[in-house]
Amino acid sequence: MKKRIISFALAAVMLVFLFAGCSAGKTATSAAASTAASASAAASAAASAAASATDSSEVQVGIVLPTKDEPRWLQDQAQFEQILGDAGFTNQVLFSQGSSATEKTNVETLISKGIKVLVICAQDGAAAAAAVEEAKTAGVTVIAYDRLITGTDAVDYYVTFDSFAVGVAQGQYLIDNAPSGSGIPLYLYAGAATDNNAFIFFSGAWSVLQPKIADGTFVIANSSEAEAVKDTNELTRDQVAKVIGQITTDWDFNVAKSKAEANLTAASADMKGDVLILAPNDGTARSIADVFAADKDVSSYVITGQDAEIASVQYVIDGKQSMTVFKDTRTLASDSVAMAVSILKGETPATDTTYNNGNKDVPAKQTAIIVVTKDNVQTALIDSGYYDASKFTGLN
């Protein structure tokens, strides 16, 4: 047992160094410092808890993620397995593959394996309520991961990036990089209507874009619902739902491609030329960018994204995608692990805000985000140790 404890302690120390990567730029330095601090907290707590860990074959921490089909979630899987494994906690990651029914089965499977903590990124924030209520009834502590689960008291904690800030960053980037003049076409796209985060992302972007729409600097090109509320800065959830219902990509590459093609086919000549595109994430951004790049009547476009997926980072380097919002999954996973460790030790996890899910104010821990452009790919993603430079071409 002594040897096992020492091994956990060494793993914890190595984890701190792994996450503390050096940075050449001010922004990346801040991100690395934040990552190191979160990782250090998780590692320290894990090393302490390791002394009381048992050799049981039961799974202590169960993780349910939305799909294997997006690189983002595979990155999260790797982070969870590495951090929890190095810390000596048994864990299992299951994927719901876009199905709330599969998600519920996954939760039930993990409950049967004796989990004490469930970390779940819901496929559908409302539909997931039934699954987490089963977990809560079984005595499991529930941590909503990245996406808030709504309409239930069964969510104990929430670990997330500042989703409103993501939307603000996307919208502000479009403002800061828009061509001069007025009447600039603005194409709006959003995530899935079943994802609470899609509402928050869009609301954040709208909060900064709306004044430019209201004064005629930007003209909405593809949403009559958004046009109908162009004079309203703070939209109700029902108003956002109507807009998203018209511009949703369902977080699906093919849906995004088809919607962009349909929008450009229907667009008049004055809605082409130099355009702005609010794309919700990297996968949809690449699909939409390819469609706009292929239209001979589109002179230039500025397009947003998020998640810093490898393929989109290469698009940013190549000038095919304008920016991506980097959400460091190392930090988010570390925050979740630190929270799980505290729960396993019978302690109250650290939180810094709350999110209302319709039934309760859920204690939450937020993680900062970073805007990545061609100018800071090196410092934000390479020097910080998130990616190896060999994954990209044209960095220098």
CA 8 to chain CA mean position, Å? 29
220-227 long-range Cβ contacts below 8 angstroms, 24+ apart? 220/186, 220/188, 221/185, 221/186, 221/187, 221/263, 221/267, 221/271, 221/275, 222/187, 222/188, 222/247, 222/263, 222/266, 222/267, 223/188, 223/247, 226/188
CA angle 74, 76, 77 (to 5 degrees): 65
Give the single-character DSSP code of 381.
Answer: I
CB-based burial, 118-139: b 16+ in 10 Å, e otherwise: bbbbbbbbbbbbebbbbbbebe
pLDDT of residue 52: 39
What amino acid occupies position 233?
N
CA–CA dist 310, 392 (Å, integer): 8
This model's pTM is above 0.95: no
pLDDT of residue 57: 59
The helix (H) or strand (E) run that includes residue 41 is: helix 26-50
Signed CA dihedral, 131, 133, 134, 136: sign only? positive
Q: Tens place of pLDDT for every residue, the chain, 396 residues?
A: 433 333 433 344 333 333 334 333 333 334 444 444 444 444 444 444 443 333 445 899 999 999 999 888 998 999 899 988 888 899 999 999 999 999 999 999 999 999 999 999 998 999 999 999 999 999 999 999 999 999 999 999 999 999 999 999 999 999 999 999 999 999 999 999 999 899 999 999 999 999 999 999 999 999 999 999 999 999 999 999 999 999 999 999 999 999 999 999 999 999 999 999 999 999 999 999 999 999 999 999 999 999 999 999 999 999 999 999 999 988 888 899 999 999 998 999 999 999 999 999 999 999 889 999 999 999 999 999 999 999 999 997
Question: Which structure tokens are listed for 199?
Answer: 């509402």
CA–CA dist 56, 312 (Å, integer): 42
Query: Residue 66 CB: number of other CB atoms within 10 A?
Result: 25
323: left (phi over 0), alpha (psi -120 to 50) or beta: beta
Answer whether 43's CB lies under 8 Å from 12's CB: yes
CA–CA dist 225, 114 (Å, integer): 47
pLDDT of residue 396: 74
CA–CA dist 280, 189 (Å, integer): 6
pLDDT of residue 329: 84
Binning the chain into helix, strand and coil, the percentages to the nearest 5 are 50, 15, 35
Question: Which structure tokens are listed for 345?
Answer: 């030790």
CA–CA dist 222, 244 (Å, integer): 12
Query: Residue 369 CB: number of other CB atoms within 10 A?
Result: 20
DSSP lists the bridge partners of residue 366 as: 160
| 3-class DSSP assignment, residue 68 | coil
Signed CA dihedral, 147, 355, 309, 199: sign only? positive
For 160-196, give the DSSP string.
EE-HHHHHHHHHHHHHHTPPSSS-EEEEE-B--TT-H
What is the signed CA dihedral for 4, 8, 10, 11, rounded to 10 degrees?
130
CA–CA dist 337, 244 (Å, integer): 33
What is the signed CA dihedral for 166, 172, 178, 184, rounded to 10 degrees?
90
Question: Which structure tokens are listed for 354?
Answer: 């709350």
Question: Which structure tokens are listed for 142?
Answer: 């529930």
CA–CA dist 386, 133 (Å, integer): 35
Report strand pairing: 157-161 vs 141-145: parallel
Answer whether 86's CB lies under 8 Å from 12's CB: yes
